Every structure is written in C-alpha cells, then in structure tokens.
Amino acid sequence: MQINRTASAHWTGGLKDGKGLISTQSGALKDYPYGFASRFEGIAGTNPEELIGAAHAGCFTMALSLILGEAGFTAEHMETSAKVTLESVEGGFAITAIHLSLSGRIPGADEATFTELANKAKAGCPISKALAAVPITLDVKLA
C-alpha cells in the first residue's frame, strides 16, 4: 500500500520582504500565509517548524493509540505538544531538537507502562523515522 499526500507553497519577493502561501491537499490549509516575519519575528502566520511540530504530534499520538490498543488499553484522552527548535548553526539554520510532551488518561495503565508504550510510539511513528537525524526527546505524564 502506498499513500501520497501533497502540499504546496507559493512565494513572491525576496527573503525578508517576500510573502508566501501554504496549501494542503485536504484544504486544511488553503493559501495560509507564511514568511520571514512569521518564522523569525513572531508575527502572525505559520512557519515550516510549526507545521513539522503539528505533523509530529499528530503522527506520534495516532501511533501511540495503536500501540495502546495492542496492549489492551484505550485512551480516555491524550494531548501531545511538539517543540521544534530552529537554531543558527555553522552554515545556516538547522532544526536541532524536537521535544514531545505527552499527557493522557489511560484507564488501567500505570505511569511506567504508559511511558514504555509512548517511547515505542516515538521510535515507530513515521514522522519520527523521517526526522531521525534530529534528537527527539519525550516526557510523559499520566493524568
């Protein structure tokens, strides 16, 4: 089975004065603005690192749901945030770290089991695998 998803970016202008628009196949984002100011200066709009974080948090949480089910658990709720760190390094900018923070209520699971299964999901989710060149850390909290 092969699944292909698409997204696109449109850009006009130079780096600092230019403006971009991001769209996704699903329409979840349609001509959504991004640019230098939203990436480096905290101005409204999105940026590639935020989108990577959303993709990683979503993928990881879905993978954990599968792994929990295989272990006989069903999440009452889970919340994952992903902090993607972009830093100036020799030769330009690079994503140097991703930190996942997970909290959840899993009836019947203790903290050690939840942490073990979450680490399995972190290692196995397709987005984690795609981002394997970046150190990925995880903290887990059972609510």
Tell me, yes or no, whether 23 and 81 share the same domain: no
Q: pTM for the full model?
A: 0.93
Torsion, Cα of 74, 136, 55, 128 (10° steps): -80
Which tokens belong to 112?
């050690």
The CATH number for 98's domain is 3.30.300.20
Q: In which domain, by residue range, is 23 found?
A: 5-39
Domain count across the chain: 2
What is the pLDDT of the chain when averaged over all its residues? 96
* pLDDT tens for each residue of 44-68: 889 999 999 999 999 999 999 999 9
Strand order in the sheet with 7-12: 7-12, 19-24, 32-34
78/125 same-domain check: yes
Q: In what order do the strands lie in the sheet with 136-142?
A: 77-89, 92-105, 136-142
* CA–CA gap between residue 107 and residue 122 (Å, rounded): 21
Q: pLDDT tens digits for 61-102?
A: 999 999 999 999 999 999 999 999 999 999 999 999 999 999
